[in-house]
Chains A and B, each alone.
Chain A
């Protein structure tokens, strides 16, 4: 029934009065465009880092050699861009705006004007961040975690002056923008579900967006407060984070002006935000993966109710584990034990999700379309990156591994790569819905295999250089001939391999870029529900960019749970949520 193309319903509009639109589809695309800018810059910066690590004397045309402060600015910008402007905006606000309302049978978000304001606040945050590279004293160099007193005292070195102020300003704007977006998401899910869309019938993606929005609201409020306190320490001589008698360059910087604060307060506030932040980044990908694995395997999501529960559980536990970033920070060692337990606990709902994915695909011989490939890649990275989590959760092991490249490997696999694979799966899956055309499957395959191989080749060996002792944030690995240089010199062959692999990984994105450009104009025209999906965003009356007038006032009703497939009937056997179920079949629900 759904296989027949419907003329006109999905043809793209060509309107340029988009810029200040309050249409949530447009805002969703704007967020995605912003994330594209951020990811392009962010990847470029990481390549300069990798280049510098294997060729410290390389002269960047138009800039000169990369100085230590340049390297740290690169790390800081790279991390900030990727974590905030890519992994927080694209899955949550980008796809959230594009897809979420339709998935709950709504034609709008709760607060369209606020929604647009949220986007423009975020865009301004990006402009401020990028602008901070050009100010006197340079961009902030304190890493994305901005630990004080380094970040609290301008005299602490380059990158702690105006650049740091701008960094704080940018992140504060970002926090405001994200707060707005979260309120919008929460209200939309609570108030705008269509008739029949009960909580148990919500697609897992909606549950993920909902949980991530809850977390965002809590976490970003705390971050915003922390940013304000740090700003006051910098400019109003308060002493939240700077202890008395802080000596910088042999000068006491914090006797009279600052009170008697503690940098540890920042660590608590920051990581109370920082850990939930990584779940905010990954939850939408987890939700999407669950739905796509089911769709392409033509199976129900295994243990659907439990998947809802684990999503909420991960969110709930997620705000109780921040101390695992602080095992060696100078807290009472008993605290380490407590956070070790809460962190081990969160591994279990995560493992439950993996089990559901494995059970859903088990001997299903799925349809290997590109979105499915990326979902499978997501599972792979989630498993490989996730399994080092319990290792790092053991304080005794973390006292060896903390701030080494082992950690960099861990978070790049689970957060960066799994997160990005979730995004790619979303782009390939929703492209027909948004653009009315298919992306090329061939190019998609090249992109998938290149990225999968490149990512493993880049990030797996980082575990080993980390075990060998390579610390993070080192602008150079060897320099002064001493014991440290001898220790780190061992890793150099592997370092070279990692850098080449990183270049390969970046190059593997070219087929994707070409695919999007090419397919948007010349791709094959898509059918209305090309993946035979069950969720409401594929409802013919909800097509996002339907031509003016064609979007009917038809009432949207959800008659059943998502993921109702009939495995026996192959690719065509499914019951979309908007299809009335014959009375004789109701008991199947």
Chain B
């Protein structure tokens, strides 16, 4: 997809849904660019040339008002529909049940990622137990047996080619979970749990940013996303869980 990335400085895409998104974005940019050029040409010709005086006829009115408006309606309708298809694919339904479960928690000014462990179930958390100093940044309740094997990491590590079901949480203020190379952005809102899902396709290390103004450390609220091969991921998981 080199063609897709080149002219606009989009970072590489490493997600399954990103290819179609990029194509649609590039299409949009070209259309906007062409319309801007066209409008400027009409404007420039219009102010530099003089027309032998003639009054506007009904036909001319049709030509310069309703025809372009109809064309624009069709164009914007087409773009909106295309975009809608992609939005619907990624957002209207949740992840497949087989997807990898991970929880991302935003807090001033860090991201924490929790894996449910071998039982595949997240342990209960409570606000009172949040204590990063005591190695419990997300407040896992020790009384809940599901929580015993939960594993919290400060980097997000994912296997390539497998869908991820990410539960987004914020402890304090609104944060913006963004991974440009996964073409993904979603606010994390305190009081809510929001699910997003995506499939990383290429192994590599990618940037996780915060894109919602969350206080003075906003600009350094970053984490790494490491996408590994399936084997590498299992390896990492084993090492972490020991």
Interface size on A, residues (CB 8 A): 107
Q: Enumerate chain A residues within 8 angstroms of B183, measured Cβ to Cβ.
A: 399-400
Chain B residues within CB distance 8 Å of chain A? 8-11, 21, 24-25, 28-29, 32, 35-36, 39-40, 42-43, 45-51, 53, 56, 61, 64-65, 68-69, 72-73, 76-77, 79-80, 83-84, 86-88, 90-92, 107-108, 126-128, 130-133, 139, 171-174, 176, 178, 180-181, 183-192, 194, 205-220, 222-225
A511 part of interface (Cβ distance < 8 Å): no
Q: In the complex, what residues of B have CB within 8 A of residue A396's CB?
A: 21, 24, 83-84, 86-87, 90
Residues of B within 8 A of A562 (CB): none
Other A-B pairs, 4, CB within 8 Å; known A156-B215, A263-B191, A363-B46: A143-B213, A252-B130, A329-B189, A476-B220
- Is A514 interfacial (CB-CB < 8 Å)? no
Closest to B34 in A: A387
* Contact with B43, one of A248, A361, A387, A471 (Cβ below 8 angstroms): A361
By beta carbon, the residue of chain B nearest A330 is B189
Is the C-beta of A523 less than 8 angstroms from some C-beta in chain B? no
* Interface set of A (CB-CB < 8 Å, partner B): 67-69, 72, 141-143, 145, 147-150, 156-159, 242-250, 252-253, 255, 260-264, 297, 302-303, 306, 328-330, 333-334, 336-337, 340-341, 344, 347-348, 351-352, 354-359, 361-366, 368, 376, 379-380, 383-384, 387-388, 390-391, 393-397, 399-400, 402-404, 464-465, 467-469, 471-477, 479-480, 482-484, 486-488, 490-491, 567-568
The one of B43, B80, B126, B219 that contacts A341, using a Cβ cutoff of 8 Å: B80
- Closest residue of chain A to B182 (Cβ to Cβ) is A400
User: Could you name 21 residue pairs across A and B whose Cβ atoms are closer than 8 Å?
Assistant: A143-B213, A147-B212, A149-B190, A150-B214, A156-B215, A246-B172, A247-B130, A248-B108, A252-B127, A297-B47, A336-B91, A364-B46, A387-B35, A390-B32, A394-B79, A395-B91, A396-B24, A403-B178, A469-B180, A486-B207, A487-B181
- A567–chain B nearest beta-carbon distance, Å: 5
Which of B53, B92, B219 lies in contact with A476, CB distance below 8 A?
B219
Instruction: List, in ascending order, chain B residues with CB within 8 A of A244's CB.
Output: 191
Q: Point out the residue from B9, B64, B215 that lies within 8 Å of A141, measured CB to CB.
A: B215
Whole-angstrom distance between the Cβ of A234 and the nearest chain B Cβ: 14
Residues of chain B within 8 A of A143, CB atoms compared: 213
| Partner pick for B8 among A68, A467, A472, CB 8 A cutoff | A467
Give every chain A residue within 8 A of B213 (Cβ-Cβ). Answer: 72, 142-143, 145, 147, 150, 472-473
Q: In the bound complex, how far is the Cα of B130 from the Cα of A255, in angstroms?
A: 14
What's the Cα separation between A157 and B213 when bound, in Å? 12
Bound-state CA distance A491–B91 (Å) is: 30
Chain B residues whose CB sits within 8 angstroms of the CB of A483 once the complex forms: 205-208, 222, 224-225
> What residues on A are CB-neighbors of B184 within 8 Å?
399-400
**What's the count of A-B pairs with C-beta under 8 Å?**
297
List of A residues within 8 angstroms of B24 by Cβ: 394, 396-397
- When C-beta atoms are compared, the residue in chain B nearest to A476 turns out to be B219
Provide the residues of chain B in CB contact with A248, threshold 8 Å: 108, 171-173
Question: Quick one: closest B residue to A400, CB to CB?
Answer: B183
A residues less than 8 Å from B172 (CB atoms): 149, 156, 246-249, 253
- A344 CB contacts on chain B under 8 angstroms: 76-77, 80
Smallest CB-CB A-B distances: 7 pairs:
A243-B191, A363-B51, A394-B83, A245-B127, A484-B207, A469-B180, A333-B91
Interchain nearest-CB distance for B234 vs A (Å): 22
Which residue on B lies nearest to A75, using beta carbons? B213
Query: Which residues of chain B have C-beta atoms less than 8 A from A384's C-beta?
Result: 36
Q: Known contacts being A255-B127, A358-B42, A483-B207, is A387 close to B77, with CB within 8 Å?
A: no
Contact A340 B83 (CB under 8 A): yes
Report whether B83 and A475 are in contact in the complex, using a CB–CB cutoff of 8 Å.
no
A294 to chain B: closest CB distance in Å?
Answer: 13
Bound together, the chains give a CA A487 to CA B79 distance in angstroms of 29
Q: How far is the CA of A486 from the CA of B222 in the complex (A)?
A: 12
A482 contacts B76, CB within 8 Å? no
Whose C-beta in chain B lies nearest to the C-beta of A464? B9
* Nearest chain A CB to B12 CB, angstrom units: 10
Whether B40 lies near A380 (C-beta < 8 A) is: yes
Known A-B contacts A147-B173, A347-B72; the reply to A260 vs B191 at CB < 8 A is yes
Interface contact A250-B32, CB-CB below 8 Å: no
Residue from B174, B205, B219 having most chain A Cβ neighbours under 10 A: B219
A344-B76, A390-B76, A567-B53 given as contacts; is B69 within 8 A of A355 (CB)?
Answer: yes
Closest to A475 in B: B219
Report the separation of the CA atoms of residues A57 and B188 in the bound assembly, to the nearest whole angstrom. 32
Are A484 and B185 interface neighbours, CB within 8 A? Answer: no
